[in-house]
Amino acid sequence: MVATGFAVMARVMGAVSDGGALMGVIIAFLLMIATGLGGFLPLVSVFVLTMVATRWRGKHKRNLGVAERRGGRNAAQVLANLGAAALCAAAAIVFPRQTDILMVGAMAALAEAAADTVSSEAGQAAAKQARMIYDFRPAPIGTNGAVSAQGTFAGCVAACIVAWVSTFFGVVGWRWAPVIAIAGIGGMFLDSVLGATFENRGVMGNDSVNFVSTVFAADLALITVLVVGSRR
């Protein structure tokens, strides 16, 4: 009921399409089965952060031609951004003894999803100049792979907020908060690199870039947990 109510609210607010709402229910359900209601709250934080960032200075973004399309995110877009977290949650359900480790990966994927969207939306809303991530040459705002100081800072803050929420509500231990935040930020930068290279060349689509970046964040966090754990 909680997951369904959340999805209905997101649909009414226009943040997702019908398919996106259904996909959101499935992902929220997996997170709650894996860790209880606490696992749902970081997902809520991602939704709130991305919605606020997306709607901030919406008229300005529309004038620039970079505003998100009306109708909200569809099922493919939701899956691309949240699928890695869902996979970690599903693995935790199948292997409950590894839940503590796997949920660090899930939270890192959520942190990356928040950081990526917030950095893009905040940069488009506030930055006066964007630069390509690989050579820092000036580029039009909204260009794939273009970054700004404002957007990057906002994305880092978003990743830290998701990390804090996941630890505050007991989804993962406090000592993993820096790992989650750093992995999320690392995935955000990878997203920009992939956008500047493969996406601009037509090799990858935006959904593929988003999914690979969240998987990278989850894997980076999981590897860190395993390495740190093996040294104890």
Domain count, the chain: 1
Question: Which residues form the domain of 91?
Answer: 2-230
Helix (H) or strand (E) holding 76: helix 75-94
- Widest CA span in the chain: 54
Gap between the Cα atoms of 98 and 57, Å rounded? 43
Determine what percent of the chain is predicted with pLDDT higher than 70: 90
Asked if residue 51 lies in contact with residue 180, where contact means CB atoms within 8 angstroms, the answer is: no
What's the confidence (pLDDT) of residue 136? Answer: 87
pLDDT tens for residues 178-230? Answer: 999 999 999 999 999 999 999 989 899 999 999 999 999 999 999 999 998 75
CB proximity list for 228: less than 8 A, separation 6 or greater = none
pLDDT of 70 over the 70 cut: no
Gap between the Cα atoms of 192 and 132, Å rounded? 9
Asked if residue 130 lies in contact with residue 6, where contact means CB atoms within 8 angstroms, the answer is: no
